[in-house]
Amino acid sequence: MDNFTFHNPTRLHFGRGQIAQLGRELPPQARVLLVYGGGSIRRNGVYDQVRGALEGRTVVEFAGIEPNPEYETLLRAALLGRQERVDWVLAVGGGSVIDGGKFIAAAVTLDPAIDPWLIVGNRTPLKTALPLGCVLTLPATGSESNFAAVVNRRQTQDKLSFKNPLVFPRFSVLDPQVTVSLPPRQIGNGIVDAFVHTVEQYLTVPTEARVQDRLAEGILQTLIEVGPQTLADPAQHEARANMMWAANQALFGLVGLGQVQDWATHAIGHELTALYGLDHAQTLAAILPALLRYRYDDKRAKLIQYGRRVWQLSGGEDEIAQRAIAATTDFFGQIGVATNLGAYGIDADAAAQAVAAQLIRHGRLRLGEYGRLAPDDCAAIVRMAG
């Protein structure tokens, strides 16, 4: 196990009715910038719960943060926040709204002489950020418990992230009840995203990080159980509660401690979203199975462990490893997320070239564990994902 330092300061309020905690978390004199997405929270009652809990505070609203949050939109929100002299940001939505909230929290207090695009990619140091609170409505990204954010810029086909402890949410509310209105596509997306977050930190090389391995295996097994249950029966509270907590724990920070990590599936996936507008999880479902096949020799030992412990496979070692990849692919398909680029109308050869060019443009020349994947390798993986 490698050395590590761990700190996660976000206070979590989990369970039914916990949106009421906003009334305790936000100071009575707070001037709150409430940011949300395309309006799902107005239709499912979350907006009314939030406004009720915020009673007495000055609230400035900004709606319309898109899936894959758009830089220009976030800039408009930050400008509004500055004009209205807000001193808190409250993000109510999925990963896109929460990531957007992180960018806005940083951009509102940024020196106006600095180009805010430099926040993305960590190209300017941040001195301050407004405090951020979150109400999560889509279990998937773990953004409610981490200090990363991904921002999209359609005009230049860039989808890039930044990380800074200043944008750790001060608190997040996780009420599984608010996920009842999720369409099946987003439930499938959430399961795949949480699954792949876990895999990127676990399915690499053996490191003797036994607690982290077993935590990863527990999260994966939970997702395999609750994914189909959540899709089949929206009324199953316990399935939803476990899905929400599993997705949170996948990117809370514990799984990857002391582990050799991968993240190449995500890096390739972000380029596919920037190029073709695919949902984040759709890119992951297509790329991960191809990447596992491409890196079979490097990942073989961990694939065998994964096959035995997560899928309860037995037999010869290579048989277990190969069947583990097949089981993963089948699982994504079973919960409704297609695992090849053709299903999304994308030509894999053209995409392979385009992804490699994007990775070079973004300076992402050595991906995966030990930096073994060059853009040509990534192009080969995209071709295999066809």
Q: Are 252 and 144 in contact (CB under 8 A)?
A: no
Q: Are 123 and 237 in contact (CB under 8 A)?
A: no
Regarding 177 and contact with ligand NZQ (CB under 6 A), the answer is no
Regarding 160 and contact with ligand NZQ (CB under 6 A), the answer is no
Q: Are 166 and 149 in contact (CB under 8 A)?
A: no
Token look-up 């709150």 returns: 32
Beta pairing partners, 23: none
CB-based contacts of 227: which residues, under 8 Å, 6+ apart?
187, 188, 191, 243, 331, 334, 335
Neighbour-count burial of 196, counting CB atoms closer than 10 A to its CB (0-12 exposed, 13-18 middle, 19+ buried): buried
Regarding 95 and contact with ligand NZQ (CB under 6 A), the answer is yes
Secondary structure of residue 215 in the 3-state scheme? helix
Nearer to ligand NZQ, 107 or 321 (CB): 107
Side-chain-side CA neighbours of residue 79 (13 Å): 6
Token pair, residue 159, equals: 């989808």
Using CA atoms, how far apart are residues 20 and 17, in angstroms rounded to an integer? 6
Single residue of 12, 178, 209, 287 touching ligand NZQ by CB under 6 A: 178
Nearer to Zn ion, 25 or 193 (CB): 193
Report the nearest approach of ligand NZQ to the CB of residue 162 (Å).
10
Angle separating helix axes 237-250 and 210-232, nearest 10 degrees: 140
Nearer to ligand NZQ, 68 or 212 (CB): 68
Alpha helices, DSSP H only, in the chain? 22-25, 40-43, 46-53, 71-83, 95-108, 184-202, 210-232, 237-250, 264-276, 280-294, 296-309, 317-334, 348-361, 375-384
CA geometry: angle at 48 spanning 19 and 109, to 5°?
70
Residue 381 interacts with, from Zn ion, ligand NZQ, none (CB under 5-8 Å by kind): none
Q: How many residues bind ligand NZQ (CB under 6 A)?
A: 33
Nearer to ligand NZQ, 35 or 320 (CB): 35
| Region binding Zn ion by CB under 5 A among candidate stretches 76-84, 158-166, 186-194, 230-238 | 186-194
Using CA atoms, how far apart are residues 264 and 226, in angstroms rounded to an integer? 26
Residue 364 interacts with, from ligand NZQ, Zn ion, none (CB under 5-8 Å by kind): none
Regarding 67 and contact with ligand NZQ (CB under 6 A), the answer is yes
Residue list 188-247, contact with Zn ion (CB under 5 A): 193
Residue 150 interacts with, from Zn ion, ligand NZQ, none (CB under 5-8 Å by kind): ligand NZQ
Kindly state the DSSP code that residue 65 receives in the 8-state scheme: P
Report the nearest approach of ligand NZQ to the CB of residue 143 (Å).
3
Q: Which residue from 246, 291, 245 is spatially nearest to 267, judged by alpha carbons? A: 291
Report the nearest approach of ligand NZQ to the CB of residue 259 (Å).
17
Residue 212 interacts with, from ligand NZQ, Zn ion, none (CB under 5-8 Å by kind): none
Q: Which residue from 322, 382, 332, 385 is spatially nearest to 355, judged by alpha carbons? A: 382
| Region binding ligand NZQ by CB under 6 A among candidate stretches 4-12, 186-194, 231-239, 327-335 | 186-194
| Region binding Zn ion by CB under 5 A among candidate stretches 40-48, 174-182, 185-193, 235-243 | 185-193
| Region binding ligand NZQ by CB under 6 A among candidate stretches 17-25, 132-140, 300-308, 373-381 | 132-140
Report the nearest approach of Zn ion to the CB of residue 146 (Å).
11
Report the nearest approach of Zn ion to the CB of residue 136 (Å).
15
What residues make contact with ligand NZQ under the rule CB under 6 A? 37-40, 44, 67-68, 93-97, 99, 137-138, 140-143, 146, 148-150, 178-179, 181-182, 186, 189, 193, 251, 266, 280
